[in-house]
Amino acid sequence: MLFIDGHKYNSTFRFNIMKRATWVVWLGVFLILLVGGLLTSIVEQSILSYQGRAQMQSLEVQLQSMVRRLEHDLNNVLALNYVLADEIQADHGHVDTQKMQQIAQSMLVHYEHVASITLSSGFVVDFVYPLQGNEAVLGMNYRFRPDVMAGVQRAIAARDTIVAGPLKLVQNGRLGLIGRTPIFLYAPGEPEYFLGVVSIAVDVQSVLARAGFLDPRLPFRFAIRGYEEQGAEGELFYGHIELFKQAHLSADIRLPGGRWRIAAAPVKPKYASTMAWQWSIRIVGGGFSLSLVWLLLRMRRQAQRRTEFSHLVHGIFSLRVFIMVLLVLLLLPIVLASSYLSYRNALQVAEQYSRQLVTEVGGRVYDRIVSFFDIPRRVLAFNVEQANAGLLNPQDRLQLMRGFLLQMRQQPLLTFISMGMADGEYYAGSRPPLGFDKGLRMLHSRKEDGHSMRIYRVDDANRRGSLVSEGSSFDARTRPWFHTAMKVGSMGWYPVYQYAINDIDSAYATLGMGMSAPLYNDQGDFLGVMTADLALSQLSDFLAELTSANGGIAFIMEPNGELLASSFQEEIYQLRPDYNPIRLKAADSQNPIIQAASRSIQQQTQPDGTLLFEIEGRRYQLDWRHYTLLQGPTLDIAVVLPDASFTGPMRDVLYNSIALALAVLVICMLIGLVVSSWVAKPLAELSHWAEKLADGDWNAVAPKSTPVQEVICLSAALDAMSNQLKQNTLELESRIQQRTADLEAANKRLAELSTTDGLTGLANRRHFDEVVSSEWLRARREDQTLALLMVDVDFFKRYNDCYGHISGDTCLKMLAGVLKNQARRGGDLVARYGGEEFVVILANTNAEGAQKLAEKTRKEVESLDLVHDHSPFGVVTISLGIAVCRPQEGRTEQELLLAADHALYQAKTNGRNRVCLEPC
């Protein structure tokens, strides 16, 4: 039994004192971890901010460089207008067609961005190069084209080159612009005479690609807006409008008569790369905090060894601990409750807002789709009324088709306006739904031609031009739209069917639907069936355009669940030779969102509505509406928007609120710590005096008496256990993160090793087999040639036997470097075929180009001057076999490989160190 300051203490009392002291230590541990976490978060955010500024500076330099390149290329091409204008002025307005063709051909060869060159005499186009694909431009009268005439008038008023656009180029449907320069003839003492306009069409996508804007590795997203004199506030023609609302970078491109503005925002870094350094900071911060905790515990143990009663003081409560605990107990529930309520309210508001927005977007899409389907009805009704009034003469077949084409020009979404005659003949005006060439077509199937389907181009005046394709026999009386019209007896929608045009370009290899009606003359005689038709591919493109701005998905399905159209790019049908296509059901879509949405709609009994569904932890808002076509099916029009786009900002607000509340909590705790220290100062002095006594300093002077007594409280064993578990959890998470990163790196390396030759760094045989198969299919699909080079090192075994395998490996590496340097295009592939054999895949390359490349490669290897005493040439040489083929149905890539191998054999048989070509 012990006596201190006249008080009696037994072992039980000493144990209670030590428990209370331990509680104080663990409270210090909690505070260290809390402050360490806050400091780590501050450091992390500071580094994020610094990296963001550095990234923006780097991106700004890159963007400005690319903009200068883009502006330079565009202005260089547009400067060609002055060359042509000066040439015509020098000839006093006389246009030598042959000379102009030579100049235009030279310009197209030297300037890859130029799509076409057009000259007008006055306001009528009388020269266009190239003519193929631009027939619709020849003969165009600008006075009758207000959309074109506006730019022409601006150029005349400015007496200088003016940029018109953006627009879709007639040649390939790609984004383009047109530079227009007026030509005047000046004579002394006479007023200027307007000769015409020089117009050069520029492929903007080609210019963007050359400047690097279409590189998929670009570290930023961008959008471009600007239209003629409207400048930076004009029409958006590339990218998303949202980039201009959140643009981090911007730059102007100055062009003749206007300017464009580019807005850019950095691409968010990949999650793995971002988390790597963030976890590094967190591990360092956690390690530092744990080091302080370890130091605190170590100091506590040392103090306990120095004296058994180092923290013994008189009193019942510790004011410092009492104030700190009281603040935590009061503020922490308030923070948690307010954060939870804020989060719940934010979610409710976000859900209501998202439901309202999806309803609004769904309504807009529904209205646009209704308007879309109303086009065939209006066009068909107009033609039926024309026939009933006797204004439509089916006997004048040419005038009939020209009338159809005139209507097609006013309705860019229609695919066909046609008429099937009572005798099976067919006449139509059409716009191809597939391919780049969207120029209007004139189609007819006549008895005198054996009912063969003939397709012609037309000029701007709707006159028949060159023959595009001649298909198989076509009898209008066998088509579904003809049957539907005869069955219904009036205007009505016919079901989805497969086109039977069978053109050579497969521009009509799709499905369509529309309205048809039987036509009768004023005597009641049956004339035929009139149709207005829409291609499903155009309907899908229309949906994609409607949803591109909000990131949603829209689709239309029939009552049986079959997809009619979808903004998601997937094949929704499969064509068959018997014209009975296989339709894709929405429930079988590749997109899980469409699958879930279609199932949800089919489970509903309401004709329209909104609902919330969840896929893999992500929530989506769905709006669906029924729409019944005239004498046709009832369609379900659905729009799906991701709920994350609305709840994300709300979560950010919640996180900011929690961070602010925690900051307030920490500040209050610091204030409480200062106040409690001031209040407990006498008790601290008393504790200091007690420690001196415990150290044997019996001469220590006792502090002055105070009415407040401090009793040190010890933490419970449960608190110690929870802190220990927390520390173990942090260490375990750190180890898992490190092991996951190591596993990802190993998997990545393994994937590289599986497709790469270890010696040369080229693609290996396995990777070559995969690529040659895919390139064969692509070339067959795009009707392009595919070239294959098979390379063999001459007398390589002798070289190995003479100089050793190390020298042989060095030789193969140098040869691999030469091959890689020669085949540098994006679609080319160099692979090690086996031993000293190599193969090179050359996409879209003809025989002449392949021979040039092979001969250049052979000379390059010979120029390496690798001494080979056992070769008749004295140096290392190669033999090359070339095979060039245009893949067709029924042929395989093995034929190409065999041809290249045979060509290589011929090269070696003929003396080696040469190139041989084998027809395929």
**Among all residues, which ones are annotated catalytic?**
836
- Enumerate helices (H) and strands (E) in the chain, giving the number of each: 20, 31
Reduced to 3 states (helix: H, G, I; strand: E, B; else coil), residue 313 is: coil
Asked if residues 181 and 81 have their Cβ atoms less than 8 Å apart, the reply is yes
On the CB side of 179, CA atoms within 13 Å amount to 25
Burial grade of 509 (CB within 10 A; 0-12, 13-18, 19 or more): middle
Residue 130 preceded by cis peptide, ω within 30: yes
Residue 242's CB: how many other CB atoms inside 10 A? Answer: 15
Report the residue count for the chain.
920
Residue 752's CB: how many other CB atoms inside 10 A? Answer: 9
Phi first, then psi: give them for residue 642, nearest 5 degrees: -70, 135
What is the signed CA dihedral for 863, 859, 760, 904, rounded to 10 degrees? -140
Reduced to 3 states (helix: H, G, I; strand: E, B; else coil), residue 18 is: helix
User: HEC states along 48-83?
Assistant: HHHHHHHHHHHHHHHHHHHHHHHHHHHHHHHCHHHH
Strand order in the sheet with 114-121: 124-129, 114-121, 190-203, 175-187, 162-168
Q: What's the chain's Rg over C-alpha atoms?
A: 40
Asked if residues 610 and 359 have their Cβ atoms less than 8 Å apart, the reply is yes
Burial grade of 434 (CB within 10 A; 0-12, 13-18, 19 or more): middle
- Comparing CA positions, the residue from 207, 204, 200, 202 lying closest to residue 100 is 200
Helix (H) or strand (E) holding 517: strand 511-520
Distance of alpha carbon 724 from its chain centroid, rounded?
47
Label the pairing between strands 190-203 and 526-535: unpaired
Q: Which residues pair with 637 in a beta bridge?
A: 556, 625
- From CA 335, how far away is CA 887, in angstroms rounded? 69
**Residue whose entry in the numeric block shows the structure tokens 């790019």:** 569
Residue 799's CB: how many other CB atoms inside 10 A? Answer: 22
Interaxial angle between packed helices 319-388 and 397-410, expressed in degrees from 0 to 180 and rounded to the nearest 10: 160
DSSP line for 324-338: HHHHHHHHHHHHHHH
> What b/e sequence results for 617-644 when a residue is b if at least 16 CB atoms lie within 10 Å of its CB, and e otherwise?
eeebbbbbbebeeebbbebbbbbbbbbe
- From CA 295, how far away is CA 264, in angstroms rounded? 50
Asked if residues 547 and 561 have their Cβ atoms less than 8 Å apart, the reply is no
- Comparing CA positions, the residue from 650, 645, 625 lying closest to residue 635 is 625
- From CA 152, how far away is CA 245, in angstroms rounded? 33
Interaxial angle between packed helices 11-78 and 80-90, expressed in degrees from 0 to 180 and rounded to the nearest 10: 10
DSSP structure class, residue 232: G
Reduced to 3 states (helix: H, G, I; strand: E, B; else coil), residue 617 is: coil
Asked if residues 223 and 239 have their Cβ atoms less than 8 Å apart, the reply is yes
- From CA 527, how far away is CA 521, in angstroms rounded? 7
Q: How far is CA 677 from CA 269, 323, 324, 448, 703, in A?
A: 47, 10, 11, 110, 17
